[in-house]
Every structure is written in C-alpha cells, then in structure tokens.
C-alpha cells in the first residue's frame, strides 16, 4: 500500500506541475494579449496570389466554394485559383472545370492532402500561396486583412480565425466557439511574442519562397507547414481579422472523430519537431513558446492517463488516501486554472466588448481543455498502434451549405 501511495502521489504531483507550467506560460502571455502589435503593416502590398483548393469528393460544396473564392475582395488579375482533385468519384473535378476562372489538376490516385500539395506547389505562379479547404467559406476581405503582414521580411506565413456555423446545434456552437476564442487569444499573443505553430487549415497564406509540402504521412498538414516555416527562420502569425466560416459536424460521433484526428496530427507534428525544444536558434519560439505547448500537447495527456490509472488502483486499496490526495491536487490545479483563465476571459471581454461573456465560459474552457487531453491521448495511441490516417478521412455531415446570413459577427 505504501508503494502505490508514493507512486500515485508522485504521478499526481508531476501532472499538477505540468498543468501549472502551462498555465504560468499562459499567464506570461497576458501582457502580449493586451499589447498592440509591433508588426509593420504595408496595406499597399498586393502580390500575385495563387489560391489552392485541395479536394476529394466535395461535389456537395465545391460550387459554393469556388463562387466564394471568386468573390474575394482582391484584384482578379493578381489571383489564380487552382483546384487539385485527389481522384474524386463524385464528379467534383467535372463541376470545377465548368468554371473558366479555375485551373483543375486531377490526380489519378488518392494519396492524401500532403501528396496533392506537393504536386500543386510545383505549378503555382503567385508570390503568395493561399491554401483553403473546400468545406470552408472565406470572408471577402480575408486577403486584404492578412497579406499586409507578409510585407515584412521576417514573416513567412499567416493563418486566420475560424468562425463556427451550425444553427441546428446552437448550444454546442456556443460552447466550442467560447473554447476556441480562448485559445485564439493565446495564438495572437504567441504571434506578438514570436510565432504560433497552431495553424488553421481552411485559410493559410505562405510566401512562395518558404513554401514546402509537408511529409506525405502528415495528418495536421497546417501545423506541420507552420513549423517548417519557423525552422527556416521566419515568423508565423495568427491574424484574427482574417476570418473564415466552417460548419460544425452534426453528430457527436463526427465531432469526436474530428477532434481525435486533429489531436493525432498535433501529436505527430510536435514529436517530429521535438528538436525545437529549448533551442535558442529559434529565438523566443524555441525557448518560450514551443516547450510549454509541447508539454501540454504531448506529455500531459500521458501523465493524466497514468495518474487516473494509479488513482483508481489506490482507490481500491486505500480509498481515504486516494480521495485526500486527489482532492488536494484537483484543488490546487483547479483554483490556479480558474484564476489564469479568468485573466484571459477578461482580455476577451475587453477586446470583443462583449458584455454577455460570463463566468460560465471559464468552466466551458476548462471542460474543453480536459476533453482535448483525452483526444490527444487517444490520438497518440492510435498513431502508435495503427499509424496515420492522412488520406482525407472526410466528415460528411460537415459538408452542408453554410448559411451566410447566420454568420457569427
């Protein structure tokens, strides 16, 4: 009993310390959340842009997507649209070819998004390459808002803000958006400090000179490409004014699948680029940003799992000790988390001038954070046991028409 008590106490303590390490990092970012950006914006910067739309069986949404892309507020003579289709069987490429302004490239075999990007990157002509998903709609000013950041020599790539749409599930939409808003301000603060590596695949813009296709087995190609840019000595920024709109999967099963797949990709990318840890070569990103993000995405899920297993064993052997130790650890981490998350919520409330934001958002964020940990754990286990699932495992019930008039402001 003494041995299991000691081991459980050590495991729980390490888990709590890892949580506090990440929370202290978030606390350190608060000053950047409140600060004005020091990045020079050249609003006259209007480079030639290549917009890439990778597809696989997107017939249900592709026409709306192309129309949305053509409606972007940007000089048409400076923008080319390339759709690369990965052996769709539903006529996606045929529908796209009916629109003259779109160049269509057909792959004979379905190899996954990374393979499609590697092929199309060889054929782009723009100085800036935008990658966007077929099931997401871009705000008409997305390029006007994002490209001025790329005018700076040390910035290599930018990503935008996701706005979730699903009027059939307003409660889940509010919960998920609240959680994403919380982490969006972290991404914005990381951008002001140096860079953020968590990119949003439905809208990413890269300078052609730093463009590199992700490895063929990549699951999170967006985060993978951002990390590649950082390793080349450039900054990668989150631009909240550059917005895109995306549906929430309708079923709980689809939402879980989406979270697990995303988590698996993050685990894969963080592990692949572990040489960034505390690496002074990459300035503040290597020493201040990547280590706590690595800890929370790769280490904490396994620590949490081990702590739960050991606590259950101790609960069977010595219930009183298990309850006391667990209670102390939960109290310490819970109170500290609530305090830090409250600071971030205040920043959100001030920035958005949203008087409706309530304390319940703090608990939503904590709950979603715990769900993320279990998604990372299951994603990591499936990655180790089954390998990657990188060939467009499409979530079909997210492929529904986005109602423009119901967008969230």
Q: Match 């699932």 to its residue by tokens.
A: 389
- Do 7 and 153 lie in one domain? The reply is no
- Do 294 and 233 lie in one domain? The reply is no
Task: Quote the domain boundaries for residue 317.
Answer: 2-34+284-386
- Joined together, the tokens standing for residue 389 give 């699932």
- Do 251 and 267 lie in one domain? The reply is yes
- Do 94 and 231 lie in one domain? The reply is yes
Residue where one domain finishes, among candidates 249, 276, 303: 276
3-state secondary structure of 186: helix
Question: What's the chain's length in residues?
Answer: 409
How far is residue 236's CA from residue 324's CA, in Å, rounded to a whole number?
45
In a domain, 396, yes or no: no
- CB-based burial label for 205 (10 Å; 0-12, 13-18, 19+): buried
Predicted confidence band of residue 30 (pLDDT cuts 50, 70, 90): confident
- Do 222 and 82 lie in one domain? The reply is yes
How far is residue 88's CA from residue 396's CA, in Å, rounded to a whole number?
14
- CB-based burial label for 181 (10 Å; 0-12, 13-18, 19+): buried
- Do 110 and 27 lie in one domain? The reply is no
**Section 319-327 average pLDDT:** 91
Higher pLDDT, residue 261 or 55: 55
pLDDT tens, position by position, 92-104: 999 999 999 999 9
Q: For residue 298, which of 273, 266, 276, 275 has the smallest C-alpha distance?
A: 266
- Do 247 and 165 lie in one domain? The reply is yes
Residue where one domain finishes, among candidates 235, 250, 276: 276
- Do 81 and 154 lie in one domain? The reply is yes
- Do 175 and 291 lie in one domain? The reply is no
**Section 336-347 average pLDDT:** 81
With residue 241 as reference, give the H or E element that holds it: strand 235-247
**Section 190-207 average pLDDT:** 95
pLDDT of residue 347 exceeding 70: yes
At 65 the pLDDT is 95
Structurally, the chain folds into a number of domains equal to 2
Asked whether the beta carbons of 87 and 110 are under 8 A apart, the reply is yes
In a domain, 394, yes or no: no
């Amino acid at each position: 009993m003494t041995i299991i008590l000691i081991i459980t106490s050590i495991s729980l303590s390490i888990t709590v310390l890892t949580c506090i390490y990440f929370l202290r990092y978030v606390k350190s970012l608060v000053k950047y959340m409140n600060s004005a950006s020091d990045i020079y914006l050249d609003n006259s910067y209007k480079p030639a842009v290549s917009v890439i739309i990778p597809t696989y069986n997107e017939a249900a949404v592709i026409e709306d997507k192309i129309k949305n892309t053509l409606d972007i507020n940007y000089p048409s003579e400076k923008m080319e649209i390339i759709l690369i289709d990965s052996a769709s069987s539903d006529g996606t490429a045929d529908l796209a070819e009916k629109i003259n302004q779109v160049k269509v490239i057909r792959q004979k075999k379905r190899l996954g998004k990374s393979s499609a990007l590697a092929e199309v990157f060889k054929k782009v002509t723009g100085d800036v390459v935008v990658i966007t998903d077929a099931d997401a709609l871009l705000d008409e000013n997305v390029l006007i808002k994002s490209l001025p950041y790329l005018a700076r020599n040390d910035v290599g790539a930018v990503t935008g803000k996701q706005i979730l749409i699903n009027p059939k599930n307003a409660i889940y939409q509010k919960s998920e958006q609240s959680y994403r808003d919380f982490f969006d301000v972290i991404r914005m603060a990381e951008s002001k400090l140096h860079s953020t590596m968590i990119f949003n695949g439905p809208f990413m813009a890269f300078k052609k000179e730093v463009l590199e296709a992700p490895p063929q087995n990549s699951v999170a190609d967006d985060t993978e490409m951002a990390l590649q840019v950082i390793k080349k000595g450039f900054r990668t920024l989150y631009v909240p004014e550059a917005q895109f709109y995306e549906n929430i999967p309708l079923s709980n099963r689809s939402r879980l699948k989406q979270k697990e797949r995303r988590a698996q990709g993050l685990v894969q990318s963080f592990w692949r680029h572990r040489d960034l840890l505390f690496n002074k070569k990459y300035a503040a990103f290597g020493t201040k940003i990547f280590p706590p993000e690595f800890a929370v995405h790769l280490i904490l899920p396994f620590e949490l799992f081990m702590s739960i297993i050991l606590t259950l064993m101790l609960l069977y052997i010595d219930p009183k000790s298990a309850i006391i130790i667990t209670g102390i650890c939960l109290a310490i981490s819970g109170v500290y988390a609530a305090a830090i998350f409250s600071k971030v919520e205040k920043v959100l409330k001030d920035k958005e001038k949203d008087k409706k934001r309530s304390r319940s958002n703090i608990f939503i964020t904590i709950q979603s954070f715990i769900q993320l940990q279990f998604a990372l754990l299951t994603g990591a286990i499936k990655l180790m046991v089954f390998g990657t699932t990188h060939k467009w495992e499409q979530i079909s019930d997210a492929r529904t028409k986005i109602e423009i008039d119901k967008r969230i402001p």
